[in-house]
Structure 1
Amino acid sequence: MSAPRILFPGFPFSEEGNDVERNAFGADAVLDYARVGSPEAIEAERWREADAVMLFRFRLDAARVALLDRCRIVVRYGVGVDRVDRAALAARGIALCNTPDYGTTEVADHAVAMILALRRGVAAYDAALRADLRGNWGWEAAGGLRRMDAQRAAVVGLGRIGTAVALRLKAFGTRVVFHDPHLPQGVDRALGLERAETLAEALDGADILTIHAPLTLETKGMIDAAGLTRLAPGAIVVNTARGAILDLSALAQALRGGHVHAAGLDVLPDEPPDPADPLIAAWLAGEGWLRQRLLITPHAAFHSPEAQSDMRRKAAETAALFLGEGKLRNVYPPDAL
């Protein structure tokens, strides 16, 4: 049996530390690090010869899947699989797995950091003082401040990250209500949280909305204008899940109208975003109606040196386990929404 060949399309990490993959796949494995800008830049033969594909942020479409003559498994570095043509993989009998537990604490911390920064006016105070140190030396420079234990937070999606966020907010004394139709009954009691059977019930009167659902046919555009109007006046919205879950135009309208006080976005429908998008353009220009009310980070909530190490090791171990022993873990069902 020939040594396995592993393709890493668009591998983003430095050459240092490649022993992570080597330790997982073994000394004989051929590790094909394709450091290119797009899937199309990788020669067809490299796709055809791969026994496994380790996917970071490239899209794996049907055209690339059609080239996978030897591949038995595709592993995503990360949780979401919305960039992968799952039907095409299933039709060829190729397993799809993800890495769901590598950056749970980082994303949860990032979401809560955004919530606290917005609710305590951290960014607004800093910007105001840099603009006029003496003139803005006072509490009036930031709006929307609230005590954490006087608020109700809606957590949409109570998976690993959503649970971690809910427990962090609960520690601040915040009343936490979650909506996740895929969880069994009793989770709410085990965690000491409140369960909302419908999304509308979760959103109604929430002072904080934090999104932690996967991007699926079911969740795309789920937080729309109607949903945002259900929030309490002056609410804040944080999204560290997937950009397309939240209607960006609806958010812009809610911010401009004042119903939503502020938002923190680590993810956007298009990444990097189009500078001409009305909300992005207003943010870049520092328009007065939006100033200090929108925080944007570059899909970086997952990142830390520790998380990066976990991601690489866990993803490689998942692929190596299947290639070596035929055992699947973290498999993503092809028919999942």
Structure 2
Amino acid sequence: MAASSLHAVTGGHRMPQQAGRFVVGITDHMIPPPDLEAAVLDGVAEVDFLDCRREEDLDPERLARLDALLVWSTRIGPATVERLKRCRIVVRFGVGYDRVDVAALEAAGIPFANNPDYGTEEVADHAVAMILSLQRRLWEHDARARGYGTTWQANTLTPLHRSSAATVGVVGVGRIGTAVVNRLKGFGYRILGYDPVQPAGHEKAVGYRRVRRLEELLAESDIVTFHCPLTGETRGLLNEATLAAMKPGAILVNTARGELFAGLDPLEAALRSGRLAAVGTDVLPVEPPAPHPLLDAWRAGEGWLAGRLVVTPHNAFHSDQAAVEMRRNAAETARLFLEDGVLRNRITAG
């Protein structure tokens, strides 16, 4: 369905298409218009693009007529759930769902599904790129080489170990963590994994050494990469105590959730003291980031931090292919449920 087929209505767009039995709402969109979703739902449902990023601005009348709701970044709380009078399913475009009140949906009898089977390759590639570039100190070399004049090749950095002499700890060995392990094996790293959710023998099938305690992984790993979901247990996991438990001079990589960080103060202290050699992160506790001395130093290119903090704007999931896959998968989840009663990727409270 071409973008030109959109026509404006108050607060958003509706996609004219073949008559359908249902109405599927889309809260907002990273890259509008929702033409891919309309194509998947064509003949089954009309698409109502709400084009609204703030929950308080959602139109109650439009919510009341929806049979399904696809959610990008808009918060879905109890007030919104109460207005979903005929909604049969809510689907999140992405994997995380910390902005969706799953308990309120359950109480209203509305199933919720996320979208875990997209972007696995992209996030794994992004994490491994951060691991390799920070271990090889590429960013630090780049920052320092700008000031070299009379010398060049003599400007080596140490410590700098080969991959086969380094240990990588993977926290969370689900889809993405497993993909990271598979990529790292080819570089010769010793790989540890911590994930109490994975069944016994998972480490043998994938190829890593399982540790039973997070503290053991932190103490042994030269590089620690996080791929765990945001839960009550993992929120604020990367606090002063956790960073202090890491091997001195370790590298930390986070392509999971910004709220794993217990703020940026512990991270700044660990980088300033040298407890952490470097940090690569695709996520931050607040996005877009609020002012903080660590980010001020990063933006200013201060010498003490040169090449030691790499930040990308929550884009590890993205490729042209992943963006299409994400949108189609979410729309297909809604269509499967509305048309055939098949519920996939269900998430429950608790």
The equivalent residue for 1:99 is: 115
- Label 1:56 to 1:295 Cα distance change in 2 as closer, same or farther (>3 A): same
- How far, CA to CA, are the matches of 2:303 and 2:233 in structure 1? 36
Measure the CA separation in 1 of the matches of 2:63 and 2:158. 53
Instruction: Number of aligned residue pairs: give it.
Output: 331
Match of 1:212 in 2: 227
Distance in 2 separating the partners of 1:124 and 1:61: 44
Q: Which moved more, 1:113-122 or 1:98-107?
A: 113-122
Q: Residues 40 and 166 from structure 1, CA distance in 2 versus in 1: closer, same or farther, beyond 3 angstroms? A: same
What amino acid is the match of 2:132? L
Q: Give 1:303's aligned amino acid.
A: H
The equivalent residue for 2:84 is: 68
Cα distance in 2, alignment partners of residues 143 and 285 from structure 1: 24
Aligned to 1:128: 144
- Asked whether the equivalents of residues 27 and 53 of structure 2 are also in contact (C-alpha less than 8 Å), the reply is no
Q: Match for 1:236 among 217, 227, 251?
A: 251
Structure 1 position 286 matched with structure 2 position 286? no
- Which amino acid counterpart does residue 183 of structure 2 have in structure 1? R
Of stretches 27-36 and 261-270 in structure 1, the one that deviates more from structure 2 is 27-36
Q: Could you tell me which amino acid in structure 1 is paired with residue 170 of structure 2?
A: V
Q: For the residues of structure 2 that align with 1:113 and 1:136, how far apart are their CA atoms?
A: 29
Instruction: Determine which of 16, 29, 32 is the counterpart of 1:14.
Output: 32
Unaligned runs of 5+ in 1: none
> How many angstroms apart in 2 are the aligned matches of 1:141 and 1:132?
14
1:97 deviates by 0.4
Give the stretch that moved more between structures: 249-258 or 99-108. 249-258
Q: Could you tell me how far 1:23 is from its partner in structure 2?
A: 3.1
Hey, what does 2:45 align to over in structure 1?
29
Alignment of 1:142-153 (within 5 A): 142=157, 144-153=159-168
Q: Does 1:87 align with 2:103?
A: yes
What's the TM-score, normalizing by structure 1?
0.93
Per the TM alignment, residue 139 of structure 1 is displaced from its structure 2 partner at its CA by 5.7
TM-score normalised by length of structure 2: 0.90
Among 341, 346, 350, which residue is 1:326 paired with? 341
State the Cα RMSD in Å: 1.8
**Corresponding position of 1:190:** 205
Asked if the contact 1:10/1:39 (under 8 Å) is kept, the reply is no
- Contact residue 121 and residue 143 of structure 1 kept, 8 A: no
Shift of the 279–93 alpha-carbon distance from structure 1 to 2, 3 Å rule, reads same
1:156 aligns with 2:174: no
- Of stretches 310-319 and 4-13 in structure 1, the one that deviates more from structure 2 is 4-13
1:93, CA displacement in angstroms?
Answer: 0.8
Give the secondary structure class of the aligned counterpart of 1:66. Answer: helix
1:309 corresponds to which residue? Answer: 324
Q: Contact conserved, 2:23 with 2:45, CA < 8 A, in 1?
A: yes
Give the counterpart of 1:57 among 41, 49, 73: 73
Q: How does 1:216-227 map to 2 (within 5 A)?
A: 216-227=231-242
Q: Which amino acid aligns with 2:89?
A: I
> For the structure 1 residues 168 and 64, does the alpha-carbon distance in structure 2 shift closer, same or farther, using more than 3 Å as the test?
same
Aligned-residue sequence identity (percent) comes to 47
In 2: Cα distance, 1:158 partner to 1:224 partner:
21
1:109 match: 125
Structure 1 Cα separation of the partners of residues 203 and 265 of structure 2: 33
User: What is the rounded CA distance, in whole Å, between the counterparts of 1:252 and 1:103 in structure 2?
Assistant: 30
